[in-house]
Amino acid sequence: MVSGTIRYWAAAKDAAGTGEEEFEGTTLADVLERLRARRGADHALVRVLERSSFLVDERPVGRRAHADVRLEQGSVIEVLPPFAGG
C-alpha cells in the first residue's frame, strides 16, 4: 500500500469540499473505489468522478484501465472534471 495526494479541480473541488486530501492504495482503481465507499454512491463527488479525467504524476491516464494505473509512494492524482466552453 502506498500513500499520496489527490488534488481536486473546479467542480470536483466543490463536490469534495476540499482542494486536496491524502490517499492510500496501489492503483487508481483502488483509490477511486475507496473514495466511493467512504462517501456513498449518491455523494456529489462520486458523480463528478464518473465523468472526470485523471492525471497521475502529471501524466494523463487517458483510456487506460484504472486498475492498470499503478501508484508509487508520494504519487499525485489530479481529478479534472469536464470543463465547459472552448
Alpha helices for the chain (secondary structure H): 11-16, 28-39, 44-50
Provide the pLDDT for residue 42: 82
Please tell me the pTM assigned to this model.
0.93
CATH 3.10.20.30 fits 2-80, yes or no: yes
- Name residue, grid cell 481536486: 8
Provide the pLDDT for residue 16: 95
Task: Sketch the domain layout of the chain as residue ranges.
Answer: 2-80
What are 45-84's pLDDT values in tens digits? 999 999 999 999 999 999 999 999 999 999 999 999 988 6
CA distances (Å), 36 to each of 2, 19, 84, 86, in order?
Answer: 18, 17, 25, 30
With a CB cutoff of 8 Å and minimum separation 6, the contacts of 72 are 2, 4, 57
Q: Look at 5-14, 40-49, 52-61 and tell me which has the smallest mean pLDDT.
A: 40-49
